[in-house]
Amino acid sequence: MLKTPTPFQHELEMVTLEQLVPKDHLLRLIDRHISFDFIRERTQALY
């Protein structure tokens, strides 16, 4: 029994998180006011 071939994707769409997250999203406000740079240093030993 033969299956019908599925269509191939011919185009790519480039999307960034910047485009997906609305400008007024709560996480943008948090990111603007809180620096999470310390996390990498504190969790380094866990990797």
Report how far apart, in Å, the C-alpha atoms of 20 and of each of 5, 8, 25, 43 are.
32, 25, 10, 28
Tokens of 47: 């990797």
Whether the full predicted model's pTM is greater than 0.95, yes or no, is: no
1-47 pLDDT per residue, tens:
678 877 787 888 899 989 999 999 999 999 999 999 999 999 999 98
DSSP conformational letter for 43 = H
- Of the candidates 20, 40, 44, 24, which has an alpha carbon nearest to the alpha carbon of residue 32? 24
